[in-house]
Structure 1
């Protein structure tokens, strides 16, 4: 009979998430993960199996945090404006300038399995779907010109989020990051 875990698996996942977010999957060593979590190798492998499965669990934990940043009670252009503002704030407020684990994972795709890459792509699709829904709502409310292409703008706004997070990770000045968000919003084909 196995012993019950003497640690909180969610807390350990959060600690591992911080390591992966800061260092990336490839650069995060198992020694780094043991140090961050305080666990011994046997405990990590018993709980998670291997580094990739630990990463996948940490990635989904991050995705849940990311989803929590989506605006509640707002639709259309107000939702888009609010969320881009949040993304710009997150990009500049992090003193470690880690960027976004979703974007970082997509950029590091060569280091990941097909399953992990599919998980990251699904989160990117989720971001695009948020923008597409908000754009459809904006069009229905008459906030956009009738000739506005919602697919074009959903792709563009998704690219803006990738840019904000990448610029944040690169240590860009706050002015630059905020200007990217402002320009994206100014370019929308408003009615």
Structure 2
């Protein structure tokens, strides 16, 4: 029978998430997580088995929060407002912290050759879920009238653009430039997007 854990799992997973987010999966060791959480490395192994399992639990928290944010950002029926809100939140999320922490999804996707199949599958599922939410939001009659392409292609383009934002943030650390590019992207994607927003 497994003994009762002698630590606050919620606090531990929160600290582990921040550690993986700042350092990336490959560069984070269980020693790093132990130092960040204040939980002995042996206790971490006993509780979670290995770094991959701990990462997946932390990434699940991140995924739930991120997708909740996306749903809220896309509620406005005006696609210009919805996408502008989405991009503002994405930029704010990846530029938070000092140094800025970047995008955990993109960072992990780049590191997939160093991660296991379970992490690869989880990252792909998050991207698919993100794409589905955007596609649904852009499938309304109001959005279809403004899109320069069909909703499925538009959703793929939005997701691809957010990954590009993440790479540009890592390279230049310039939130103002990311905001400027996001506004221009909305103008290109939405035929009516040039309306003074």
TM-score under structure 2 length normalisation: 0.86
Q: RMSD between aligned alpha carbons?
A: 2.0
Q: Give 2:173's aligned residue.
A: 172
Partner deviation per Cα, 1:7-49 (whole Å, 9 max, x = no partner):
1111111111111111111111121111011111221012111
Q: C-alpha distance in 2, partners of 1:142/1:176?
A: 26
Q: Give 1:75's aligned residue.
A: 77
Q: Give 1:91's aligned residue.
A: 94
Task: Note the residue ranges of structure 2 that are not aligned, 5 or more in a row.
Answer: 193-197
Q: C-alpha distance in 1, partners of 2:64/2:170?
A: 20
Q: Match of 2:69, SS?
A: coil
Aligned pairs for 1:25-44 (under 5 A) are 25-44=25-44
Aligned pairs for 1:141-152 (under 5 A) are 141=142, 144-145=145-146, 148-152=149-153
Q: Is the 8 A contact 2:17 2:58 kept in 1?
A: yes
Aligned positions, number: 189
Partner deviation per Cα, 1:67-113 (whole Å, 9 max, x = no partner):
23224342350322211121122233433221111111111110111
Q: Is the 8 A contact 1:143 1:190 kept in 2?
A: no
Q: Give 2:195's aligned residue.
A: none
Aligned pairs for 1:16-165 (under 5 A) are 16-72=16-72, 73-77=75-79, 78-137=81-140, 140-141=141-142, 144-145=145-146, 148-165=149-166
Q: C-alpha distance in 2, partners of 1:75/1:114?
A: 38
TM-score under structure 1 length normalisation: 0.89
Q: C-alpha distance in 2, partners of 1:146/1:169?
A: 30
Taking a change above 3 Å as real, the CA distance of residues 114 and 2 of structure 1, as seen in their structure-2 partners, is: closer
